[in-house]
Amino acid sequence: MKPDVYIVIPTYWQGTKNRKGVKEDLIFDHPTYLDGPDTLSASLESLAKADQSIPFRVLVLSAPIHPEIEQEVTARVDSIIGQYRDRLDIGHFHGEALRLLQRHLQQKGFNPNHLSLQGYAAIRNCQLAVPSILGASLIAAIDDDEIVPYDYPERIQRYAGKNGIDLIAGRYRYENGKTFVHDRSEGRKDAGLFLKKQRYQNMVYQRIEETPEDLVDTSIVLGGNMVFSRDLFTHVPFDPFIRRGEDIDYMINAAMAGFSWKCDKNLWIDHYPPACEERSKLQEDVIRFLYERAKIKESKRQEGFNSITAADLGPYPGLFLQDNLEEEALLALHGRDTAIQQEPWYLTPEEVLEEGSRLATQATEFFDFARIWPTLLSSLEQDTILAQRLEDLVF
């Protein structure tokens, strides 16, 4: 009998170092170069060395930034995973497996694009759907630049799905044992809202550390250390319309659907993101917050969903969902390095606000998607032919 606890790892890839980016490329924070060193191997090595007395499966989901490199990415990830098949129960969800899943969706009358590998949130929905189809009772999500401690497989099973807690948020420990993020606004008297982002995140982390209990309230969840109960992941999807920040957004989705969450302050993961400039992050953050603000406002009008306000979401992300968002965004965007104007993804400050406003008009569509998610997933779970074909193709 196969294990029903899944640890899922999305891994993001770009082409070789001499490949020129194009406007159609997906934007990820630090995708791995095909001809460079990878971080996935170290993550898998830590899982192979972890406590396996309670069996678990590992599912890697590979996402290329452009379809033209899909086959190369699939082959590279297969070669990495192949080194661990004798030490882990491990599978690889890739483009071919996605197309199988989409065909079955279409046959059942659903939009096949409800599941895809096009963007963070869409990938996260695959990391819920595929284990669900294969019989998962619990899903833990980590990232490919993290190292898990020996007791991680046991720790993820302590609280999620028990005592009314549906989502568990873990914590990151950074290089040199740091548990807070670097505050870029330190010493800056002219710092606006977006430059203070890390300061407000650290305020949440400080409150967590000062609370004596193991399980504490939080307004931040981290996509690379989240645990989902079966009741939660079969009823609440990630929002495919949000471009980044899908982890905190999922927490909001869960709250709107009436589910509860806590931070397990002792569920640690060591996080070692590769050095990169992440120059698109501010632009994507502005678009994301404009959309998020519209969505929580829309929650008041949607039947069957709890209403959420910015005040419910602490200093972070709550302060980024206020009425002064456009003003603060323009201040930050106009302060960007002019060199980024040569990047294929670059938008002027005014175009960024326009894109965020355009996306905000789609906020109602999330609620329609959320309503069909339980039916969609139930239909896929009952498809025994699909389950067997996925098992054979992925594992």
Helices 95-107 and 120-133: crossing angle, nearest 10°?
70
Is 90 exceeded by the pLDDT of residue 339? no
pLDDT digits (tens, 9 = 90+) for 173-201: 998 888 999 887 776 666 689 989 999 99
Is 60 exceeded by the pLDDT of residue 277? no
**Can you tell me the mean pLDDT for 267-285?**
84
Q: What percent of the chain has pLDDT over 90?
A: 83
Q: Going along the chain, which residue ranges are E strands?
A: 5-14, 32-33, 57-64, 90-93, 138-142, 146-147, 167-173, 215-216, 225-229, 261-271
Is 90 exceeded by the pLDDT of residue 105? yes
**Whether pTM exceeds 0.85:** yes
Q: Answer whether 272's CB lies under 8 Å from 147's CB.
A: yes
Provide the pLDDT for residue 347: 87
Provide the pLDDT for residue 292: 97
Provide the pLDDT for residue 387: 97
Reading the block at residue 5, the tokens are: 């606890």
Among residues 326, 309, 290, 304, the alpha carbon closest in space to that of 374 is found at 304
Provide the pLDDT for residue 344: 81
Q: Answer whether 11's CB lies under 8 Å from 92's CB.
A: no
Is 70 exceeded by the pLDDT of residue 232? yes
- pLDDT grade, residue 276 (50/70/90)? low
Whole-angstrom distance, CA of residue 53 vs CA of residue 63? 31
Is 60 exceeded by the pLDDT of residue 115? yes
Q: What percent of the chain has pLDDT over 70?
A: 98
Provide the pLDDT for residue 229: 98
Length of the chain: 395
Instruction: Please state, rounded to an integer, the average pLDDT across all residues of the chain.
Output: 94
Provide the pLDDT for residue 335: 84
Q: How far is CA 7 from CA 1, 131, 144, 256, in A?
A: 17, 9, 11, 25
pLDDT digits (tens, 9 = 90+) for 200-221: 999 999 999 999 999 999 999 9
Among residues 67, 114, 122, the alpha carbon closest in space to that of 95 is found at 67
Provide the pLDDT for residue 288: 96
For the residues of 86-99, what is the DSSP string, one character each? TTS-EEEE-HHHHH
Provide the pLDDT for residue 278: 61
Provide the pLDDT for residue 385: 97
- pLDDT grade, residue 391 (50/70/90)? very high
- pLDDT grade, residue 134 (50/70/90)? very high
Q: Answer whether 2's CB lies under 8 Å from 65's CB.
A: no
pLDDT digits (tens, 9 = 90+) for 238-269: 999 998 999 999 999 999 999 999 999 999 99
How many CB atoms are located within 10 Å of the residue 362 CB? 15
**Which has the higher per-residue pLDDT, 179 or 343?**
179
Alpha-carbon dihedral of residues 130, 135, 137, 139, nearest 10 degrees? -20
pLDDT digits (tens, 9 = 90+) for 64-88: 999 999 999 999 999 999 999 999 9
Is 90 exceeded by the pLDDT of residue 336? no
